[in-house]
Chains A and B, each alone.
Chain A
């Protein structure tokens, strides 16, 4: 078990190294340079010549005066300590400060969405498996299909239109009150709800066909006893395989919803950093997001292994 975890962590470190190398190379080969384009955009100047002393001081602050391989090493050395230096756009703030300030917002969105998806998805899946091939089942399947295929930012549009503009249940814009969380969280949750429902349904149908369920039924077990205690319990562990990727996706996927609803989360800052070519911010956040996605995947695999001893023996010894 420990060997497996260490091996996976080693793989994550290698992958993160590649992420930083790729982003670094990409950024260095990108045309244009921040200080000149910024001057063009913000001051409406036609002349891109920044005074040499300003440019020199600026380059010194971001270590841009050193050779590129040295810049990369400096970046790597600092990244290990979770330091990414000051941002281009907000020179008084460091990238790690921005991440620490804004990521909780994204995390709350993703966490609430996942929670909602589990709370709605599991019962819906059970219902649909129990009433297999009836109208309830068909509707549930159709809805989950729509939920899984339509991207969350398009879902958000429909939710705003129905819940805010037609039914006037929640405000469509604004941020700060708890009620403002309703629309973003709902639009993020619909995809995972669909996946969980579909998985729960098919897994439960398979479990309910097992011999021991028939035995439990023959012994006179009721709905709760048979379906919930024997059936659902055995379907919950493999459900981790669905929740894991969804969680990893959500931790980056809030980006669109944050942009659409103008929520000051890390996704919003990340995308505007990419638009403005705020390279320290882009590099730091890309690495952070990549780390989160891979760490969540690892966590899910470990939990899965802890819950199901068969997997622990099989998978972990092999790899």
Chain B
């Protein structure tokens, strides 16, 4: 088994490039991502969840273009309707089509989720990698800062930021990303610390590679696994914060819908028209679960202890 994994590992070392010709016997022809994909596919729930997320993304992009309704126009002739052929998920207290509102909510949740995740990675990985790679005093200063950020309750801070920055998609995304990168920084630092001990980093340095080349070509590509796994849990986390803010009345400005706001409005009519609260809640729950299952699958796929 050791024989077979060595070429695959070498392949990881070169940052995901296909293996060179002299190594290509029958086991090494697979690329790094091919191996990951094979491992990931084994978990059926994760695979289905991944397809579901792809479907959701497609729905969020295409939905607003083809839907016959929009999220702003009220229709006072069609209030509180039960699901029908015209309105698949019924209508809300303003006669707006629920399906349309949920799809716009989905779009906003995805934008905030992926956007905040990106902000977290940009800040967290930069700080963590710098601290881990250079060590010494820089490490000390940066990590004390990270410690403080980690101790602060991030939801309260994002709430404050939203109050100050305003309530649109971009500010909410920023408010969430700016307050929840501390975990990512710790993770990136730990990864970089362990990778920089490895011999091939020493080899690269002795060949005259500069710090930036070593960090970007050799260290970060190898640290990508845990960071991606963490990201797949942070995306639904950011979605929960976004909806939570909307639920307490501090999310995206209405009439732009958010799942949290839909749940909040629906809770007022839960006795008479429970579908107003149930549909957004179910979509939200399924989306969150899908991301969690993909995260689990990714974690197993990146786990080096597994056979290929």
CB of A149 within 8 A of CB of B236, answer: yes
Residues of A within 8 A of B292 (CB): 145, 149
Partner of B274, one of A154, A161, A282: A161
A293 to B156, CA, bound (A): 11
Partner of A157, one of B153, B163, B278: B278
CB of B160 within 8 A of CB of A289, answer: no
Residues of B within 8 A of A18 (CB): 148, 152
Residues of B within 8 A of A158 (CB): 281, 285
CB of A259 within 8 A of CB of B247, answer: yes
CB of B284 within 8 A of CB of A154, answer: yes
CB of B152 within 8 A of CB of A160, answer: no
- Give the shortest distance, in Å, between A136 (CB) and chain B (any CB): 19
Residues of A within 8 A of B166 (CB): 31
- The verdict on A74 contacting chain B, using a C-beta distance below 8 Å, is no
Chain B binder among A45-53, A94-102, A107-115, A271-279: A271-279
Residues of A within 8 A of B284 (CB): 154
Partner of A26, one of B152, B161, B249, B270: B161
- Taking CB atoms and an 8 Å cut-off, the chain B residues in 9-35 that contact chain A are none
- Asked, given contacts A145-B292, A150-B288, A259-B247, whether A290 binds B270 with beta carbons under 8 Å apart, the answer is no
Residues of B within 8 A of A294 (CB): 151
- The verdict on A179 contacting chain B, using a C-beta distance below 8 Å, is no
- The verdict on B155 contacting chain A, using a C-beta distance below 8 Å, is yes
Q: Using a Cβ cutoff of 8 Å, how many contacts connect chains A and B?
A: 110
Partner of A27, one of B164, B240, B270, B278: B164
CB of A274 within 8 A of CB of B247, answer: no
- The verdict on A30 contacting chain B, using a C-beta distance below 8 Å, is yes
CB of A153 within 8 A of CB of B247, answer: yes
- The verdict on A260 contacting chain B, using a C-beta distance below 8 Å, is yes
- Give the shortest distance, in Å, between A95 (CB) and chain B (any CB): 15
- The verdict on B219 contacting chain A, using a C-beta distance below 8 Å, is no
- Give the shortest distance, in Å, between B305 (CB) and chain A (any CB): 16
Please tell me the number of chain A residues within 8 Å of chain B, measured between CB atoms. 44
- The verdict on A29 contacting chain B, using a C-beta distance below 8 Å, is yes
Residues of B within 8 A of A151 (CB): 240, 243-244, 288
Residue of B nearest to A142 (CB): B45
- Asked, given contacts A22-B160, A255-B248, A271-B249, whether A15 binds B148 with beta carbons under 8 Å apart, the answer is yes
- Asked, given contacts A18-B152, A22-B157, whether A259 binds B264 with beta carbons under 8 Å apart, the answer is yes
A14 to B149, CA, bound (A): 12
CB of B244 within 8 A of CB of A256, answer: yes
Tell me the dominant secondary structure on chain A's binding face: helix
CB of B263 within 8 A of CB of A260, answer: yes
- Taking CB atoms and an 8 Å cut-off, the chain A residues in 1-38 that contact chain B are 11-12, 14-15, 18-19, 22-23, 26-27, 29-31
CB of B278 within 8 A of CB of A11, answer: no
Residue of A nearest to B290 (CB): A149
A31 to B164, CA, bound (A): 7
- The verdict on B8 contacting chain A, using a C-beta distance below 8 Å, is no
* Size bracket, chain B contacts: 35 or more
- The verdict on A61 contacting chain B, using a C-beta distance below 8 Å, is no
- The verdict on A252 contacting chain B, using a C-beta distance below 8 Å, is yes
- The verdict on B66 contacting chain A, using a C-beta distance below 8 Å, is no
A161 to B247, CA, bound (A): 18
Residues of A within 8 A of B247 (CB): 153, 256, 259-260
- The verdict on B207 contacting chain A, using a C-beta distance below 8 Å, is no
- The verdict on A146 contacting chain B, using a C-beta distance below 8 Å, is yes
- The verdict on B184 contacting chain A, using a C-beta distance below 8 Å, is no
CB of B281 within 8 A of CB of A26, answer: no
Residues of B within 8 A of A255 (CB): 244, 248
CB of B250 within 8 A of CB of A274, answer: yes
CB of B289 within 8 A of CB of A259, answer: no
A157 to B283, CA, bound (A): 12
A19 to B156, CA, bound (A): 10
- The verdict on B277 contacting chain A, using a C-beta distance below 8 Å, is yes
CB of B160 within 8 A of CB of A23, answer: yes
- The verdict on A172 contacting chain B, using a C-beta distance below 8 Å, is yes
Q: Mark A266-291, 1 if CB is under 8 A from B, else 0.
A: 00000110110100001000100110
- The verdict on B176 contacting chain A, using a C-beta distance below 8 Å, is no
- Taking CB atoms and an 8 Å cut-off, the chain B residues in 151-178 that contact chain A are 151-153, 155-157, 159-161, 163-164, 166
Residues of B within 8 A of A150 (CB): 285, 288-289
A290 to B153, CA, bound (A): 6
Residues of B within 8 A of A27 (CB): 160, 163-164
- Taking CB atoms and an 8 Å cut-off, the chain B residues in 52-76 that contact chain A are none
A–B Cβ pairs within 8 angstroms, 6 of them? A145-B289, A149-B236, A151-B240, A154-B281, A252-B155, A259-B248
Sample of 18 further A-B pairs with CB below 8 A, known A22-B160, A154-B285: A15-B152, A27-B160, A30-B163, A149-B289, A149-B292, A150-B288, A150-B289, A153-B244, A157-B263, A165-B270, A252-B155, A256-B247, A256-B248, A259-B248, A260-B247, A289-B153, A293-B153, A294-B151
- 6 closest cross-chain pairs (CB), A and B: A271-B248, A157-B281, A149-B292, A30-B164, A151-B240, A26-B164
